[in-house]
Amino acid sequence: MREGRTKGGTWRRGCVSCPSIRAPKVPLAFSGGAMGSWQARPEQQHYYHQLAQKTGFSAEQIKNLHHRFRELSANGETIRNQQEGESGRLEELDLGHFLMVMSHFRPPRHKSGEDERCAVRRQKLRFLFNMHDTDNDGTITLVEYRKVVEELLSKSGAIGHEAAKAIADAAMLEVASTNVPHMAPDEFYEGITFEHFEQILNGLEMESRMHIRFLDVDTSTVRCGKAGSTSTP
Amino acid sequence: MLARASAALLLPPLLFLAPRARASSDPAEAEEEREGHGHGGGGYRVVQWEWSYVQTPYVIAVWLLVASVAKILFQLSRRLTRVVPESVLLILLGLALGGLALLADDKQPYQLEPALFFLFLLPTIVGDAGYFMPARLFFDNLGAILTYAVAGTLWNAFGTGLALTAAHRLGVIDERVEAGLLDFLLFGALISAVDPVAVLAVFEEVHVNDTLFIIVFGESLLNDAVTVVLYKVYISFVEVGTENVQMADYFKGMASFLVVSAGGTSVGLVFAVILSLLTRFTKKVRIIEPLFVLLLVYLAYLTAELFSLSSILSMTFCGIGANKYVEANISQKSRTAVKYTMKTLASIAETLIFIFLGISAVDKSKWAWDTGLVACTLIFIFIFRALGVMGQTWVLNRFRLVPLDKIDQVVMSYGGLRGAVAFALVVLLDGQRVKAKDYFVATTIVVVFFTVMFQGLTIKPLVKWLKVPRSTSRKPTINEEIHERAFDHILTAVEDIAGLQGYHHWRDKWEQFDKNYLSKLLLRKSAYRKSELWEAYQKINIRDAISVIDQGGNVVNAARLSLPSVTSGASFPDASNVTSYLSVHPAGVARHSHFCQHCLCYIFLFFYRRENGSGVCLDLQVVDKVPGAKVEEETETHHVLAENLYKPRRRYQSHYSRHFMPAGEKERQDREVFQRNMKSRMETFKSGRHKRHKKERGLKKRRASDARDDGGDKPRRSIDRQDKDPVVIPVVSDEDDEFQCRRKEPETDDDVGITFVALKAEAPQKRPHSMTGAPPAADAHLPWKGGGAPWPPPCLSLEATKVIPVDLRQAWNQSISSLESVSEAAGSRAGASTRPASYAGAAPIAPAPLLEKNQEEEEEEDETVPLVPSRRPPVPSPLPAALAPGRHRKPRVYLRSLVTSPPSGGSEGPAGKGPTQL
B387-411 tens-digit pLDDT: 999 999 999 988 777 778 888 899 9
| B863 within 8 A of B627, measured Cβ to Cβ | yes
Q: Tell me: pLDDT of B505 over 60.
A: yes
B547 touches chain A (CB under 8 A): no
Spatial distance between the Cα atoms of B558 and A203, rounded to a whole number of angstroms: 36
Beta strands in B509-621 (DSSP E): none
CA distance A177 to chain B (A): 6
At A184 the pLDDT is 59
What residues pair up with B866 in beta bridges, in sequence order? none
| B613 within 8 A of B829, measured Cβ to Cβ | yes
CA distance B747 to chain A (A): 21
In 10 A of CB A29, how many CB atoms? 20
The residue that leads in pLDDT, B445 or B611, is B445
The pairs formed by B657-664 with CB atoms below 8 angstroms and a separation of 24 or more are: B658/B287, B659/B285, B659/B287, B660/B286, B660/B287, B661/B286, B661/B287, B661/B333
In 10 A of CB B246, how many CB atoms? 9
CA distance B57 to chain A (A): 50
At B304 the pLDDT is 94
pLDDT digit string, tens, across residues B795-834: 333 333 344 444 445 555 555 555 545 444 444 444 433 3
End-to-end CA, chain A: 26
- Average confidence (pLDDT) over B98-104: 85
At A192 the pLDDT is 77
At B207 the pLDDT is 83
A60 touches chain B (CB under 8 A): no
CA distance A59 to chain B (A): 15
Question: Over chain B, what is the mean pLDDT?
Answer: 67
A108 touches chain B (CB under 8 A): no
At A81 the pLDDT is 58
Least confidently predicted of A192-206, B20-34, B385-399: B20-34
Chain A residue numbers with beta carbons less than 8 Å from the beta carbon of B761 are: 183, 185
Spatial distance between the Cα atoms of A130 and A132, rounded to a whole number of angstroms: 5
Question: How confident is residue A131, by pLDDT bands cut at 50, 70 and 90?
Answer: confident
- Average confidence (pLDDT) over B22-36: 44
Q: Tell me: pLDDT of B199 over 80.
A: yes
Interface A–B counts its CB contacts (< 8 A) at 198
B83 touches chain A (CB under 8 A): no
Q: Tell me: pLDDT of B835 over 50.
A: no
At B343 the pLDDT is 93
DSSP state of B663: P
pLDDT digit string, tens, across residues B582-633: 333 333 333 333 333 333 333 333 333 333 333 333 333 333 333 444 556 6
Question: Can you count the helices (H) and strands (E) in chain B?
Answer: 42, 0
In 10 A of CB B241, how many CB atoms? 11
A187 touches chain B (CB under 8 A): yes
Q: Tell me: pLDDT of B128 over 70.
A: yes
At A175 the pLDDT is 76
On whether the pTM is more than 0.90, the answer is no
Residue B331's φ and ψ, nearest 5 degrees, are -80, 165
Highest mean pLDDT among A140-149, B727-736, B842-851: A140-149
pLDDT digit string, tens, across residues B475-493: 667 777 777 777 777 777 7
Spatial distance between the Cα atoms of B166 and B171, rounded to a whole number of angstroms: 9
Question: How confident is residue B447, by pLDDT bands cut at 50, 70 and 90?
Answer: very high
Nearest to B497 among A23, A107, A213 (CB): A23
Please give the radius of gyration of chain B, using alpha carbons only, rounded to the nearest integer: 35
A4 touches chain B (CB under 8 A): no
Highest mean pLDDT among A181-190, B46-55, B305-314, B622-631: B305-314
Three state DSSP letters for B746-809 = HHHHHHHCCCCCCHHHHHHHHHHHHCCCCCHHHHHHCCCCCCCCCCCCCCCCHHHHCCCCHHHH
ipTM: 0.70
The residue that leads in pLDDT, B636 or A97, is A97
B757 touches chain A (CB under 8 A): yes
pLDDT digit string, tens, across residues A69-81: 777 777 766 666 5
Counting Cα atoms < 13 Å in the Cβ hemisphere of B615 gives 22
pLDDT digit string, tens, across residues B146-188: 999 999 999 999 999 999 999 998 888 877 778 888 889 999 9
Nearest to B478 among A148, A171, A188 (CB): A171
Least confidently predicted of A65-79, B82-96, B296-310, B817-831: B817-831
Residue A79's φ and ψ, nearest 5 degrees, are -95, 130
Q: Tell me: pLDDT of B47 over 70.
A: yes
Spatial distance between the Cα atoms of B604 and B672, rounded to a whole number of angstroms: 14
- Average confidence (pLDDT) over B861-876: 41
Chain A residue numbers with beta carbons less than 8 Å from the beta carbon of B512 are: 231-233
- Triad B240, B243, B247: Cα angle to 5°: 90
At B300 the pLDDT is 95
pLDDT digit string, tens, across residues B310-321: 999 999 999 999
Spatial distance between the Cα atoms of A180 and A187, rounded to a whole number of angstroms: 10
CA distance A203 to chain B (A): 8
Q: Tell me: pLDDT of B508 over 80.
A: yes
> Is the CB of B491 less than 8 angstroms away from the CB of A212?
yes
pLDDT digit string, tens, across residues A31-48: 333 344 344 466 677 777
Chain B residue numbers with beta carbons less than 8 Å from the beta carbon of A111 are: none
The share of chain B scoring above pLDDT 70, in percent, equals: 52
Please give the radius of gyration of chain A, using alpha carbons only, rounded to the nearest integer: 19
Q: Tell me: pLDDT of B100 over 80.
A: yes
Question: How confident is residue A215, by pLDDT bands cut at 50, 70 and 90?
Answer: low
Q: Which of residues 131-160 of A touch B (CB under 8 A)?
A: 131, 142, 148-149, 152-153, 156-160
At A61 the pLDDT is 76
Mutant choice from A186, A193, A199 vs B, greatest count of B C-beta within 10 A? A186
Q: Tell me: pLDDT of B298 over 50.
A: yes
Q: Tell me: pLDDT of B557 over 80.
A: no
The residue that leads in pLDDT, A25 or B38, is B38
